[in-house]
Amino acid sequence: MQFKHPEFLYFLFLLVIPILVHLFQLRRFKREYFTNVQFLKELAVQTRKSSTIKKWLLLFTRLLLLTFLILAFAQPFFSAKESPKANNEMYIVLDNSYSMQAKGKQGELLKRAVQDLLEHTPENQSFSLMTNSENYWNTDIKSIQKELQNLDYSATGFEIESAIAKINARKSAFNKDIIVITDAIGIKNNQTKGFKKEDNVYFIIPEAEQKNNVAVDSVYLTQTLDNFYEIGVSLSSYGINKTETPVALYNKGKLIAKTLLSIENGKKSINFTIPKEEFNGYVSIEDKGLSYDNTYYFSITKSRKTNVISIGDSEKSNFLARIYTSDEFIYSNFPLNSLDYNQIEKQDAIIINELVTIPQALQTTLKNFVSKGGNVIFIPSNENTNANSFLANFGAIQLQSATTNEKKVTKINFNHPLFNSVFEKKVDNFQYPMVKNSFSIKSKTPSILSYEDQSTFLTSIKNDLSSVYVFAAPINKSNSNFQNSPLIVPIFYNMSQNALRLGISDIKIGSNQPFVVETTMGKDEIVELKNDIERFIPSQQLMASKVKMTFNENPKNAGNFGIFNGNNLIENLGFNYNRSESNLSQSNSNIADDFSLINDVDSVFNTIQTDRTDTQIWKWFVMLALLFLVIELLIQKFVK
């Protein structure tokens, strides 16, 4: 026989108490004198004998009552050696994402979960431990004690579907016991469907006591002036935050601006004006919620002129020279027959302006150009012969039937990134540009500008590095007055800006967003990212005068990093944690509805042990304790 809680057996020492009470009774007999004691003496002897028997019976019943009660609390059981679940494999899935920084009743959720595992996991229990970033297969609690004690928060969010897939990939002749410890932030019910029915799944969902939190969501460029940048800082508030939040801006470790902001709930933005120069710093706030989302790192690269060329008739391209002025752009126009293909890869944007035919060689070159981060702006000709074969290189977008009906451009998609910082407020009435001849566009991408009949005038196809913008009609002066519209300058200005040259440089860790820098490198040279704490070599692709990088799960920690070619600093780049777990009210305990929801690790192992045992004999001890309680009451009442 074994005990689930053998520590209760120490209470068996309490059996000494009723014995001592029985042996050392302090009650003394009082002598009384009578004139005739013949009958009384016989009665007294009989009473003493009956009293002695009653006391011994009460002693035994109380000892047995107390013994059975203590044994019931110790929960005895017999090992079920023939149980079909006795050989189950165990997997522990531990969420160490940054939302587990939240504080519960006993401190930070992750640290409490780790301590719970260290204290209550049986030493002889073999299991596999899976965290957001590390896996420990077929181990035990002693072997990974140091790893658990040193376990840090992971920038990789908790992906329960990925953990399920890894567990299911471990082929075994036995079923599995799976313990999932997570705060369930952002997990949807359908994400747990991958668990197999034959496996035993136990959820431990610790809950944060303090769910108020303020997060710095993003930093963006709102306005570029002659000598200054105006940057916007977007913050989100979750829960009820009645106090003002300090917001500070740092450049190269030095405080350059600070203010207090009241954010009761929802979102709020604040602007800072900084000198128009290189910036390598961060925005920081102070709040009582999570700390991982209190700092946002970013860089602003040294401004340089944007390289733009247009390909087409020079007369139809004159308006572009007035937009792409020499103070900010290096602009040139080339007729198709005089185009130098070697110049294409050096550009930031290329405008295809009403070419009747686009040669196959140019199509291939532009496809490669877009894949490396260049923007293409396509303006069709009324006589296009192979526009659709060209557009097919970039995605599912096609020009369809032409129409000669005059149309007005009346709708602006103010939410499109192309119009960031263009409008202070939504404009309902302006001088509507019109077109005479146009094409209908078949595309699943949202419109940037639309006609009054809701059909598309301007749309775009976007990838990770660049965009292809497509007009539905020629915009020369004989076909349209769009060149006279106030929209033309901000639209063409922003379309020419490379997606990676919009001013703010920052990457979310784990997003796999590529990043391109301009540098000339030899075949054996590589770029490296580093700061005072961490350094790593990203995946990289050499592209003539550029290097395309992807970072996978690197870096491990948010911060400002320098991109180096040897000892030469190419550019600075900020890395930030994903803010998807900042809202602590998104905990979804319903994910455990189809499984077992347990309070702590100790209870899980007790539950598993219970499932592996025969009939629970502790119940019989409870019944015996109650039986002897009844017997004691009967003795007290009927035995004289």
What pLDDT digit, counting tens, does each position of 319-364 carry? Answer: 999 999 988 889 999 998 888 888 888 888 999 998 989 999 999 9
CATH class given for the domain over 306-496: alpha beta
**Distance spanning both ends of the chain, measured CA to CA:** 40
Helix (H) or strand (E) holding 217: strand 213-224
Helices marked H in 472-617 — which ranges?
Answer: 488-496, 601-611
Q: Cα 296–155–219 angle (5° rounding)? A: 20
Q: Where are the domains of the chain?
A: 2-78+616-638, 89-208+587-611, 306-496, 508-572
Q: Across all residues in the chain, what is the average pLDDT?
A: 85
| pLDDT greater than 60 at residue 44 | no
Q: What pLDDT does residue 181 have? A: 96
What does the pLDDT look like over 569-604, one tens digit per residue? 999 999 999 998 899 888 898 999 889 999 999 888
Tell me the pLDDT band of 639, cut-offs 50, 70 and 90. confident
Local confidence band at 31 (pLDDT 50, 70, 90 cut-offs): low
CA–CA dist 189, 192 (Å, integer): 6
Same fold, 89-208+587-611 and 306-496: yes
The count of C-alpha atoms lying within 13 angstroms of the C-alpha of 336, restricted to the half-sphere facing its C-beta, is: 14
Q: What are phi and psi of 288, to 5 degrees?
A: -95, 5
Give burial (CB, 10 Å; 0-12/13-18/19+) of 564: middle
* Contact between residue 289 and residue 243 where contact means Cβ atoms under 8 Å apart: no
Rounded to two decimals, the pTM is 0.73
* pLDDT, position 624: 83
Average pLDDT value for residue range 424-437:
71
**What percent of the chain is modeled with pLDDT above 70?**
89
Structure tokens at 64: 């047995």
Average pLDDT over residues 539-557: 86
Contact indicator for 311, 351 with CB cutoff of 8 Å: yes
Closest to 471 measured CA to CA, from 420, 552, 407, 515? 407
pLDDT given at position 82: 47
3-state secondary structure of 352: strand
Please identify, in words, the CATH class of the domain defined by 89-208+587-611.
alpha beta
Q: For position 501, what pLDDT does the model report? A: 53
Which residue did the predictor score with more confidence, 92 or 382?
A: 92
β-bridge mates for residue 471, sequence order: 458
Write the DSSP assignment of 109-123 as a string of letters.
HHHHHHHHHHHHS-T
pLDDT value, residue 39: 54
Is the pLDDT assigned to residue 182 strictly greater than 90? yes
Lowest mean pLDDT among 173-187, 231-245, 298-312, 497-511: 497-511
Distance CA 38, CA 43 (A): 9
3-state secondary structure of 4: coil
| pLDDT exceeds 90 at position 26 | no
Q: Angle, to 10 degrees, between the axis of helix 109-120 and the axis of helix 601-611? A: 40
pLDDT of residue 509 exceeding 80:
yes
Residue 585: the pLDDT is 87
